[in-house]
A and B are shown apart, each in its own frame.
Chain A
Amino acid sequence: MSDMQHRPLLEVRDLEKVYHLNSGLLQRIARQPALNLRAVNKVSFSIQPGETLGLIGESGCGKSTLARTVLRLHEPTSGSITFEGSDITKLPHREMTALRRSMQIIFQDPYASLNPRKSVEEIVGLPLSLHGIAKRGEIRDRVVAMLESVGLKSAHMGRFPHQFSGGQRQRIGIARALILNPSFVVCDEPVSALDVSIQAQIITLLESLKRELGLTYLFISHDIGVIGHVSDRIAVMYLGDIVEMGPSREVLKAPKHPYTKALLSAVPQIDAGARRERVKLTGDLPSPIAPPPGCKFHTRCPFAIERCRHEVPALRDLGGDMKAACHLVSAS
């Protein structure tokens, strides 16, 4: 693989994020049992410069938590994060803040993620002044240039978020994330809140910005069509684990893990010929506070055998850059 020759831009090893529930003072006094929610469970992956890694999974599987822990918006419980060759897992606050210039995030909800009381100029220019990068006069010029590159006009500078449509707001969010010239951007469901025709506009914008600015994306979406379109590689998450990972084409054409198969077969297809036989799942996602023993997917898996109920499957190499965590899958 050609990307193996490069140093990865981001490397995550055994990353874990555990939330301790019932740990408040009153709950401890009331002797409520301490509960651990393992949102991200010893996850490892790397992203090469210029690559887009797509992250898919159902709501509650830990994909957003994983992305935010990688950016240290949430502090990891254990494991390591290496960005541009240096370990940032324990980086002090001040240095982490400086590093945030290179690591940015675009949020899902363009209504909630913009301050309604600030003008577009203030919203998009704030990162520049926070990081002390540009003087007041320069900020304006850079904001104008940034707005134009995301398809907005300089005339929009003095307006407030409520004066824009959802798609335009998402463009403002993109401008704010990119104005610091980051190398790595987390796109956390950036089009899920938008209408389909606007979704396509934002996706093509994100793709052309990636090419122009040489960006690397960690792209989260529950929409598998979108992920298939933007990603070079795909990781599939289930209850805090990566259960399958590999080049997009392979994962989408020949998924190995039963969960990936079920997920893909459930995506409604407009071409009758592209429809797959439905791999039916029974039941809902189990509670992440008390996940099932063994393979966490065995309670819903149509192929589960006795072994799946006690033994946790490891994420194994299957050759051709494919990995899957399933007892029933053998290397090809």
Chain B
Amino acid sequence: MHSTRSSVTEMTAPLLSIRNLKTCFPTRAGLVTAVDGVDLDLYPGECLGIVGESGSGKSVTFASVIGLVRSPGYVAEGTIRFDGTDLRNLEAEQWRQLRGRDIAMTMQDALTALNPALTVAEQIEEVLLAHATDLPRKGRWEAARARAVEMLRLVGIPAPDKRIDDYPHQFSGGMRQRIMIAIALSCRPKLLIADEPTTALDVTIQAQVLDLIGDLRRELGMSVVLITHDLGVVAEHTDRVAVMYAGQVVEIGPTQELISQPKHPYTRGLIGLIPRLSDLDAPIKPIEGQVPELIGLGGICRFHDRCDYRLPQCRSDIPMVAVGPGRQARCIRAKENLS
């Protein structure tokens, strides 16, 4: 292994293990397979980036993990194991015990995810009173409030003891995102799923929020899944990255190696179309065409009609192949030196 973190994590058992996950949504046009055969492992203390465009299945994959696929969508196949528990066969009460305590998720849009009718204090205390086992029996409310103030301080809200009684609309976008992170982290979960935590934010605030998540990860020893469309964010903040396209993982590996030597043509494409501040004259090369409709795709490479390297054989089912230590790509030409 090149990176020390990967070599350590590969030996321990994964905290989260997803195998052959398939999540479908019936629509009038047909059955949309939004996630189609996803395999992922997340190791303790690791930050895994999930990168892809809209419709790639990155959010639905983790909505499936946390049991929040919106009806009429459903998980059709596969296993999801978290810390020894099979997440696909949990009762509502078991989910209630797990979500918020061991697994927490922050949503993309903090304004709609927070309850506008409750103060920030009420929203953080609710989680603590439901899950925190170490609150004293006497004075539970006071203890929960004190911890809620502490969480707000931790995420960098100024004057947290005063602001805690404000409502979400009284905070700026960056602050709301922090409040959501405070709620998610209030019970010190083992796993934080951060779905586009900074997409709606300005870059200076984005940097603050991502640094905060990184600091808290190290402090609390949790694992983080960072779902984003921004490869720059992935490059700066994750240990490993999985690239998703049209419902499948098409490439996975240690972040630095994957970005410096992408093996899948889609990953190369994604990297090629980022305007770089370090090289203003480098042309950006768009990937022509569009993501395919996720209906009845069957066994073909989903990227083949946009791919510069396609062969006739690409119209068949393409498996993930190992392309180096800890690296896999879903391309029959992944081992060639394409240029």
Residues of A within 8 A of B (CB): 58-59, 165, 167, 195-201, 203-204, 222-226, 228-229, 248-249, 252, 262-275, 278, 280-281, 283-285
Q: Are A200 and B273 in contact (CB under 8 A)?
A: yes
Q: In the complex, A222 Cα to B277 Cα: how many Å?
A: 14
CB-CB under 8 A for A196 and B158, given A224-B277, A228-B275: no
Are the CB atoms of B236 and A269 closer together than 8 Å? yes
User: Within B38-70, which residues are at the interface with A (CB < 8 Å)?
Assistant: 53-54
CA distance A287 to B72 in the complex (A): 44
A203 to B205, CA, bound (A): 25
- Of all chain A residues, the one with the shortest Cβ separation from B174 is A284
Interface contact A201-B286, CB-CB below 8 Å: yes
Q: In the complex, how many angstroms separate the beta carbon of A54 from the nearest chain B beta carbon? A: 11
Query: B275 and A274: CB pair below 8 A?
Result: no
Whether A197 and B172, one on each chain, are in contact in the complex, defined by CB atoms closer than 8 angstroms, is no
Is there contact, CB below 8 Å, between B270 and A197?
A: yes
Q: Output the nearest chain A residue to B198 by Cβ-Cβ distance.
A: A268
| Known A229-B284, A272-B256; contact A284-B273, beta-carbon cutoff 8 A | no
Distance, CA A224 to CA B273, complexed state (A):
14
Most A CB contacts (10 A, CB to CB) among B158, B173, B290 go to B290
B318 within 8 A of A: no
Whether a CB of chain A sits under 8 angstroms from the CB of B230 is: yes
A59 CB contacts on chain B under 8 angstroms: 173, 202
B280 at the interface (CB under 8 A from A): yes
Which 9 interchain pairs have the tightest Cβ spacing?
A268-B232, A274-B278, A200-B286, A200-B273, A225-B275, A229-B275, A266-B207, A58-B202, A195-B53
B153 interface residue (CB < 8 Å to A): no
Listed by A's residue number, 6 A-B pairs whose Cβ atoms lie within 8 Å are: A195-B54, A197-B269, A203-B284, A262-B204, A268-B236, A278-B207
> Would B202 and A270 count as touching, CB distance under 8 A?
no
For chain B, residues 229 to 249, give those with C-beta under 8 angstroms from any C-beta of chain A. Answer: 229-237
Mark interface residues in B200-241 (1 if CB within 8 Å of A CB, else 0). 001111111011000000000000000001111111110000
CA of A249 to CA of B279, assembled, Å: 10
Contact A268 B235, CB 8 Å, known A228-B277, A229-B275, A273-B278: yes
Residue B332 interfacial (CB < 8 Å): no
Instruction: Tell whether, in the assembled complex, residue A200 and residue B207 are in contact, meaning their CB atoms are under 8 Å apart.
Output: no
Task: Give the residue of B175, B235, B287 whose beta carbon is less than 8 angstroms from that of A270.
Answer: B235
Q: How far is the CA of A59 from the CA of B276 in the complex (A)?
A: 22
Tell me whether B203 and A222 are in contact (CB under 8 A): yes
Query: What is the minimal beta-carbon distance from B307 to any residue of chain A, in angstroms?
Result: 13
Which of A266, A273, A275 has a CB less than 8 Å from the CB of B204? A266
Residues of chain A contacted by B235 (CB below 8 angstroms): 268-272
- B174: chain A residues within 8 A (beta carbon): 284
Chain B residues whose C-beta falls within 8 Å of the C-beta of A252 in the assembled complex: 277, 280
Among candidates A199, A223, A262, A285, residue contacting B273 with C-beta atoms closer than 8 Å? A199
- Is the CB–CB distance between A268 and B233 below 8 Å? yes
CB within 8 Å of A: which B262-276 residues:
269-271, 273-276
Are A284 and B277 in contact, with the CB atoms below 8 A?
no
Is B270 in contact with A284, judged by CB distance below 8 angstroms? no
The answer to whether A275 touches B273, judged by C-beta atoms less than 8 angstroms apart, is no
Which residues, 143 to 184 on B, are CB-close (under 8 Å) to A? Answer: 158, 172-175
Residues of B within 8 A of A283 (CB): 158
Taking a contact as CB atoms under 8 Å apart, the answer to whether A270 and B231 are in contact is yes
Interface contact B230-A268, CB-CB below 8 Å? yes
Given A263-B204, A268-B235, A284-B174: A196 touches B229 (CB 8 Å cut-off): yes
Closest to A223 in B: B275
Task: Output the least CB separation between B155 and chain A (Å).
Answer: 13
B204 near A196: Cβ-Cβ < 8 Å: no
Contacts of B233 in A (CB 8 A): 268
Which of B172, B203, B210, B287 is A285 in contact with, Cβ under 8 Å? B172
B271 lies within 8 A of A270 (CB): yes
CA distance A167 to B89 in the complex (A): 40
| Nearest residue, chain B, Cβ from A274 | B278
Q: Is the CB of B280 within 8 A of A248?
A: yes
**Distance in angstroms between the alpha carbons of A200 and B283 in the assembled complex:** 10
Check B93 for interface membership: any CB of A closer than 8 A.
Answer: no
Q: In the complex, A104 Cα to B205 Cα: how many Å? A: 32
Give Cα A242 to B269, complex, Å: 36
Complex Cα distance A196/B203, Å? Answer: 17
With CB as the reference atom, state the residue of chain A lying closest to B200: A59
Could you tell me the distance between the alpha carbons of A249 and B277 in the complex, rounded to whole angstroms?
9
Q: How far is the CB of A64 from chain B (nearest CB, A)?
A: 14
In the complex the two chains form, is B172's CB within 8 Å of A284's CB? yes
In the complex, the answer to whether A249 meets B280 with C-beta atoms within 8 Å is: yes
The answer to whether A165 touches B290, judged by C-beta atoms less than 8 angstroms apart, is yes
How many Å lie between the Cα of A75 and that of B237 in the bound state?
Answer: 44
> Quick check: A271 and B270 within 8 Å, CB to CB?
no
Kindly list chain B residues whose C-beta atoms are within 8 Å of the C-beta of A281: 204, 208
Query: What is the CB-to-nearest-CB distance from A238 to chain B, in angstroms, rounded to a whole number?
Result: 11
Taking the nearest CB of chain B, how far is it from the CB of A201, in angstroms? 4
For the complex, give the distance between the alpha carbons of A198 and B284 in Å: 12
Q: Is the CB of B280 within 8 A of A204?
A: no
Given contacts A200-B286, A278-B207, contact A270 B274 (CB under 8 A): yes
Alpha-carbon distance between A195 and B56 when the two chains are bound, in angstroms = 11
- Would B284 and A200 count as touching, CB distance under 8 A? yes
Once the chains bind, are B205 and A284 in contact (CB under 8 Å)? yes
Report A-chain residues with C-beta under 8 Å of the C-beta of B277.
224-225, 228, 252, 264, 267, 269, 274
Q: How distant is B196 from chain A, measured CB to nearest CB, in Å?
A: 13
How far is the CB of B174 from the nearest CB of chain A, in Å?
6
Closest to B202 in A: A58
Report A132 CB to chain B, min CB distance, Å. Answer: 37
A266 touches B280 (CB 8 A): no
Q: Determine the chain A residues whose CB is within 8 A of the CB of B206 once the complex forms.
A: 266, 268
B336 contacts chain A at the CB level, 8 A cutoff? no
B285 within 8 A of A: yes
Q: Establish whether residues A271 and B203, one from each chain, have CB atoms under 8 Å apart when the complex forms.
A: no
